[in-house]
Structure 1
Amino acid sequence: MLKQDRELSMSIRRTIENNEETGIRPSKTYQSFVAAAGGHRELNFIKKDVRNYITREVRNVSEQEDAKKFGKYLLRMKEKNQNFFFELQLEEDQSIKLAFWADARSRAAFEYFGDVISFDTTYNTNRYNLVCASFVGVNHHGQSTLLGCSLMKNEEIESFKWLFQCWLRCMGGNAPKGFLTDQCASMKRALEACMPTTIHRWCIWHIMKKIPRKLNGYKGHADIEQEMSQVVWNSHSKDSFDRNWNDFLLNFGLADNKWLSDLYEDRHIWVPIYLDHHFWAGMRSTQRSESMHSFFNKYITRNSSLIQFVKQYDNCLGSREQAERESDATDFHTVIPCATKSSIEAQFQEAYTHAKFREVQAQFRGKANCITRLKNSALGYSVYEVGEQVSSSIFNKFVVTYDSIAAEKVKRRHTHIKSSHDEPLMEPRSKRFDQLVFCSQNICEFTSESEELTAILHRAYDNVMAEMEALKAKRNGTSSLSHEDANLESINELQSLPRIRTRGRPKNRLGSKLEKQIANATKKKKTKVLSEINLFDASSAAHSNSSQYQGHVMNYQFRVPAAGDNSLGV
């Protein structure tokens, strides 16, 4: 197929743009066109044309315009909802150093789900190598919920301090009870300064993942890894952990290992037995933050612009909001039956969401192996001694305090607040095209039910096309725009004139059509005079001896001879 014969129609362009925004790869987009058309030969473009359109039109955002578009996005969100929050810290050259934003729904959700926060950073999300950091909580369905996002130029202590203080201002100055991060020293110091009352916890998954790399040089490193995991996970008290840890170091000759020594010094912020008596919303790692980042990484690359990044953040917010609404609807319309006749289970059934009630039911199934005995009860609280039968002769004993005060269903204010989603800034023609396509889909679906309806639509289509072509021909491609009827949409439709390439020095002025006609007529007259003069010169050469006639010729060199003037002697 020749290049001049290849063309992307508006329908194709809009499909490419929508697929690109939702993370569908160009190759998949092209294959969908092939399937819809019935084969490669039915298309008047190739896969390369799709890729070129994405590169040149969809992703083509200059560095100078990118920061401005990012700032305009934040302002648009603020205009839509005054509770949208953002702050920027700029360099001396006005480039972005730090940025933080959170929509109104995230701020309201923090009131209910801000007890524990997972915080993590990720890279390669934009062309400027800005680090992406996200604040993630857990909602009443056990789902991850976004509570703010940030872009950072570096990971210095002062940068994290600015970010944490900014986030606290956004959330009304209320610090969370628990905060999970990786082992970044800058995060640790910034948290100690900004949230001194918050319990800081390191992601245990990151620590355990480092064991092979840190201890690979020791003999029997596989046994070392297995024994360390046993000590970390199976110590049932702080004293037993300390004893087991010392025995582990002595048995494998690891007493001088600095990495293990540093971990032991910080055991209060990563070992489960030191932390599990606090509420952590089921989290021991920053996996929820990493899962959120993996969502971003499906749609953005290290070459993505800032405006592309915030669009995908919008998509992530929308998907999280939709998942929560679907779960709320399921909880409202359905009921999970109780597995026992226990009044305690019935209370959880009434107060908890389906996801959390299933966790409670798992505990009730395990209760079949337990023997409970009431020790005391007062002011609505009951203390039970629980013995769990592990084997025929072994019991593990626990003390459980139960709050018998009936829990009320909570009306969560944030569920009535929509996420601040940015509307695509499309050209007016693209908007009209999308609206027409949406309407035509309903018509086509209704019409395709029978041949008779299809024939009616074809006749209507032919009549409408004839009417529109007649109107277009009548206007002859021209229109007017005055101060009385002009608006922003009509101004946005104005197009630049095609560039005219000229040779040599341009003229001072273009001149009107009439002036060009006059100039052409004058040029023709001058050409006629010169031809007559040349004829006269030829005849005058035959009478060169007549001085009187020669002088007369000089008088008539630059005027048109009058009719009937015989003085020339011709």
Structure 2
Amino acid sequence: MAGSSKSSNAENANVDSLRNLNVSLLDKRDNVMEILYGKDGSESVEEPKVGMSFSSEEEVRLYYMKYAKQVGFGVSKRSSKPGDNGKLRYFTLACVQQGTPKSNASNILKPRPVEKMGCKAKINAALTLDGRFTLSTVVLEHTHALSPGKAIFFRCHKRLGSKAKRKLEPNETSGIHTSKNFKSLVETKSSENLPLEEKDYQIDKTRQHQLGVGGSEALRNFFIRMQQKNDHFFYVMDVDDVCQVRNVFWADARCKAAYESFGDVITFDTTYLTKAYKIPLVSFVGVNHHGQLILFGCGLILSEDTNSFVSLFESWLRFMNCQAPDAIITDQDKALQNAIARVFPRAQHRFCLWQIIKRLPENFGAHSQYEAIKSNLQSCVYDSSSRDEFEESWQKLLERYKLHDNAWLNLLYGERHLWVPSYLKNTFLAGMCTLQRGEGMNSFFDDYVNSKTTLKQFFEQYDNVLRRKVENEITADFNSFSTQIPCITHYSIEKQFQEVYTIAKFKEVQDEFRGFLYCVASLPTCEGSIHLYQVADEIKVDGFIKHAKFCVAFNEDNSEVKCPCNLFEFKGILCRHALRVLTMLHKDLSSKYILDRWRKDLKRKYTFVKSSYDDLSGNLEAQRYDKLTKSFFEVALIASKSEEACMKSISHVSQLKGELVHHGSSCDSSTPSHHLPGASLGISMQAPHHTLEVMDRDGGMSTTNQDLRVNIRE
């Protein structure tokens, strides 16, 4: 294969280097000042002390700002007082999270995030007789967590310098888009140009079985470019007996590491396998701790049949060390069903309800009573709280509109256990399957792929997609770290969730606390240690109030609570009925109901792993991590050849780990103890009737780039 142009790589090198800083923003890093300012400005700042003297107010402000960025908090000016001559006499600089938390939302049941957390950290500076400002009061203790890595996101640390502003102004008048404008900031090479969010610059921002004209060359160049940028980029091409490509799969080490954190539930997205799109793109995605989509791998399907899907799934599963998900959500498709049954026999397979509802117009659009059928079908699906209720509503629907012979409805009914909410509630789907009208899942590549997008255009945007997703996650992490949503009740259980859940997930918890205001629990009946409560709920459906009862069981021995609505089992959020019982009993919340999956205070190792768009030139810790994974992989290759060598290596690694922890090295005590992700992801395998070629710069391949001869349909 021919190499991609060096000029193209050079053009993106600077922006990739800067963007790579985003990954490290999630962590508490001692070297963050060196990353932000370079070696010339990386010296540490002395801790504030009473009696420190400065020549001016500005010098005090600059000093405290630099100290705050080093430690990991934001700064605001809280108060000042002039003397009789009008000159400033003293002033106070404080942590931005000082003050009483208050939400300015008009609806007290829907509070907005607030930055104030009652922090007391501050400095007071007073004017002395010699005309200098001296620190008269210093409070160092904060009431919240600190993070040097996240400090850059505080407003006070995000200001553009004059050099950056001059660079932006001509771009703005020329209509340059955000990504290019961001890139131009990198070219200024100014240490003050690091807000890291494009939006801060206020610039506007099938069945298809061929790759299209130029698609094969674009695919080849994409793979070469990715491998040049990332040693751990991995791809598989599935070819048939006549060397015709049937499908392609690719991923990187970050996909694999992210899967370890969030791979319990995945969606296999086939949105673009319709005649409306030019690229046969598929993707494996999950949701992170904010409920945002996160990528586990991509593919191209040129032959939509069971064998092709089986081959793609097998490639992905081997890449994930044969760790299958607990549940997988797909579109309703027979070939997909067959493939999943073969490759993921133990996984819970479910259909995407949103995709099914989207097909109503094509199946009933011409019906004279389409709107009525649509309304009744949605009511039957979404509003049935039990299987019996669904069955009754479904039969009424068929009888009312004489739809007993409708083939599509009969097919849906036969597979109702795969898509109807009342049948799915015992399966954990992490919020990736809808329960309410209007809910839906977007594609990971929304806003980057449309009906006119070619494969070449998609690959040109691929880096931008990954970069934007990482930025969105970093921003959400910072918001959850630096702000909080006030509690709407005085119950300690709500406070427990507030302290550990991300903002997005705490909002979902608060939805249930708002709902439990309409719930009434009866006096219990007891069966040994099990207490049964009848919880009456008022559910609003299409403007009407529907009364429902839920028998909630509470186990006195282990503090477990069980509700037949199964919201916790389905979505990982404790329901209003269970909350009503727990608060009524004044019980502490069992730790099993606080899922690590939604926590904001955990470090997840995929944030250390290089992504396909990353350039590690500016990220010292990521560079070190990359070196270590390669070294450990080389040791593993040698040690795996014998049991003696294996056990000896494990012993040495354990001893080394103990020494590093004991001596307080760069290992962070809050980092979960996980095995390092594999440094090489190379696989070479043979499957009946087709060949898989897997290429990884570390792991080698069964044929060289130059020898590979396959036919890719354009």
Q: TM-score range by the shorter chain?
A: 0.5 to 0.7
Letter in 2 for 1:73: R
1:182-201 equivalent positions in 2, closer than 5 A: 182-201=331-350
Deviation sequence 1:290-316 (CA, Å, 0-9, x none): 432323316x944442xx533422221
Aligned length in residues: 370
1:443-462 equivalent positions in 2, closer than 5 A: none
Please give the alpha-carbon distance, in whole angstroms, between the structure 2 residues aligned to 1:191 and 1:124: 17
Gap change, CA 1:191 and 1:365, over 3 Å in 2: same
Residue number in structure 1 paired with 2:312: 163
Residue number in structure 1 paired with 2:462: 313
Q: How far apart are 1:279 and its partner, in Å?
A: 1.5
Structure number with higher helix proportion: 1
3-state SS of paired residue (1:235) = coil
Please give the alpha-carbon distance, in whole angstroms, between the structure 1 residues aligned to 2:434 and 2:469: 20
Gap change, CA 1:255 and 1:325, over 3 Å in 2: same
Please give the alpha-carbon distance, in whole angstroms, between the structure 1 residues aligned to 2:473 and 2:241: 42
- Which structure 2 residue ranges, 5 or more long, are not aligned? 1-6, 20-169, 176-212, 555-559, 562-588, 617-714
3-state SS of paired residue (2:444) = helix
Please give the alpha-carbon distance, in whole angstroms, between the structure 2 residues aligned to 1:64 and 1:108: 29
The alignment status of 1:257 with 2:406, answered yes or no, reads yes
Residue number in structure 2 paired with 1:412: 604
Residue number in structure 2 paired with 1:292: 444
Deviation sequence 1:474-516 (CA, Å, 0-9, x none): xxxxxxxxxxxxxxxxxxxxxxxxxxxxxxxxxxxxxxxxxxx
Q: How far apart are 1:168 and its partner, in Å?
A: 1.2
Residue number in structure 2 paired with 1:175: 324
Letter in 2 for 1:230: S
Gap change, CA 1:108 and 1:362, over 3 Å in 2: same
Please give the alpha-carbon distance, in whole angstroms, between the structure 2 residues aligned to 1:112 and 1:384: 36
Gap change, CA 1:222 and 1:267, over 3 Å in 2: same
Q: How far apart are 1:413 and its partner, in Å?
A: 1.5
Question: Identity of aligned pairs, percent?
Answer: 37
Gap change, CA 1:63 and 1:167, over 3 Å in 2: closer
Letter in 2 for 1:410: L
Q: How far apart are 1:161 and its partner, in Å?
A: 0.5
More RCO (CA 8 Å, sep 6+) = 2
**8 Å contact kept, 2:240–2:246:** yes
3-state SS of paired residue (2:284) = strand
Q: How far apart are 1:216 and its partner, in Å?
A: 4.2
**8 Å contact kept, 1:124–1:302:** no
Gap change, CA 1:405 and 1:122, over 3 Å in 2: closer
Residue number in structure 2 paired with 1:76: 228
Please give the alpha-carbon distance, in whole angstroms, between the structure 1 residues aligned to 2:327 and 2:172: 52
Please give the alpha-carbon distance, in whole angstroms, between the structure 1 residues aligned to 2:282 and 2:533: 44
Please give the alpha-carbon distance, in whole angstroms, between the structure 1 residues aligned to 2:274 and 2:394: 40
Please give the alpha-carbon distance, in whole angstroms, between the structure 2 residues aligned to 1:302 and 1:328: 32
Residue number in structure 1 paired with 2:552: 399
1:134-153 equivalent positions in 2, closer than 5 A: 134-153=283-302
Please give the alpha-carbon distance, in whole angstroms, between the structure 1 residues aligned to 2:268 and 2:216: 31
**8 Å contact kept, 1:130–1:154:** no
Residue number in structure 2 paired with 1:332: 481
Question: Could you tell me the TM-score, scaled by structure 2's length?
Answer: 0.46
Gap change, CA 1:146 and 1:263, over 3 Å in 2: same
Corresponding residue to 2:389 among 230, 240, 246: 240
Q: How far apart are 1:109 and its partner, in Å?
A: 1.1
Deviation sequence 1:336-357 (CA, Å, 0-9, x none): 3322221211221222111111
Gap change, CA 1:91 and 1:204, over 3 Å in 2: same
1:390-539 equivalent positions in 2, closer than 5 A: 396-399=549-552, 402=560, 404-406=589-591, 407=594, 409-421=601-613
Gap change, CA 1:411 and 1:92, over 3 Å in 2: same
**8 Å contact kept, 1:371–1:386:** yes
**8 Å contact kept, 2:270–2:331:** no
Larger C-alpha radius of gyration, 1 or 2? 1
Gap change, CA 1:289 and 1:318, over 3 Å in 2: farther
3-state SS of paired residue (1:387) = strand
Q: How far apart are 1:138 and its partner, in Å?
A: 0.8
Please give the alpha-carbon distance, in whole angstroms, between the structure 1 residues aligned to 2:426 and 2:483: 33
Gap change, CA 1:344 and 1:130, over 3 Å in 2: same
Q: How far apart are 1:197 and its partner, in Å?
A: 1.5
Letter in 1 for 2:222: F
Q: How far apart are 1:270 and its partner, in Å?
A: 1.2
3-state SS of paired residue (1:291) = coil
Gap change, CA 1:211 and 1:66, over 3 Å in 2: closer
Letter in 1 for 2:476: S
3-state SS of paired residue (1:293) = coil
**8 Å contact kept, 1:74–1:86:** no
Deviation sequence 1:5-53 (CA, Å, 0-9, x none): xxxxx9xxx89xx9xxx9xxxxxxxxx879459xxxxxxxxxxxxxxxx
Question: Could you tell me the TM-score, scaled by structure 1's length?
Answer: 0.57
Letter in 1 for 2:472: A
Residue number in structure 1 paired with 2:259: 110
Please give the alpha-carbon distance, in whole angstroms, between the structure 2 residues aligned to 1:64 and 1:179: 30
Gap change, CA 1:324 and 1:120, over 3 Å in 2: same
Q: How far apart are 1:204 and its partner, in Å?
A: 1.7
**8 Å contact kept, 1:387–1:395:** yes
Gap change, CA 1:414 and 1:376, over 3 Å in 2: farther
Q: How far apart are 1:141 and its partner, in Å?
A: 0.8
3-state SS of paired residue (2:443) = helix
The alignment status of 1:267 with 2:416, answered yes or no, reads yes
Gap change, CA 1:245 and 1:158, over 3 Å in 2: same
Residue number in structure 2 paired with 1:363: 512
Q: How far apart are 1:281 and its partner, in Å?
A: 1.5
Please give the alpha-carbon distance, in whole angstroms, between the structure 2 residues aligned to 1:149 and 1:100: 6
**8 Å contact kept, 1:182–1:203:** yes
**8 Å contact kept, 1:386–1:400:** no
Please give the alpha-carbon distance, in whole angstroms, between the structure 2 residues aligned to 1:315 and 1:383: 53
Letter in 2 for 1:85: F
Please give the alpha-carbon distance, in whole angstroms, between the structure 2 residues aligned to 1:369 and 1:63: 57
Q: How far apart are 1:250 and its partner, in Å?
A: 1.8
3-state SS of paired residue (1:396) = strand
Letter in 2 for 1:405: S
**8 Å contact kept, 2:534–2:550:** yes
Letter in 2 for 1:72: I
Deviation sequence 1:243-288 (CA, Å, 0-9, x none): 2212221222211222211111111111111112321122226987
3-state SS of paired residue (2:250) = strand
Please give the alpha-carbon distance, in whole angstroms, between the structure 2 residues aligned to 1:347 and 1:386: 23
Residue number in structure 2 paired with 1:556: none
Deviates more, 1:252-261 or 1:286-295: 286-295
Please give the alpha-carbon distance, in whole angstroms, between the structure 1 residues aligned to 2:322 and 2:174: 55
The alignment status of 1:223 with 2:335, answered yes or no, reads no
The alignment status of 1:121 with 2:121, answered yes or no, reads no
Please give the alpha-carbon distance, in whole angstroms, between the structure 2 residues aligned to 1:118 and 1:340: 36
Please give the alpha-carbon distance, in whole angstroms, between the structure 2 residues aligned to 1:413 and 1:180: 25
Please give the alpha-carbon distance, in whole angstroms, between the structure 2 residues aligned to 1:324 and 1:283: 17
**8 Å contact kept, 1:130–1:153:** no
Residue number in structure 2 paired with 1:464: none
**8 Å contact kept, 1:129–1:302:** yes
Please give the alpha-carbon distance, in whole angstroms, between the structure 2 residues aligned to 1:333 and 1:378: 46
Gap change, CA 1:374 and 1:405, over 3 Å in 2: farther
Letter in 2 for 1:420: S
Letter in 1 for 2:611: S
Q: How far apart are 1:137 and its partner, in Å?
A: 0.7
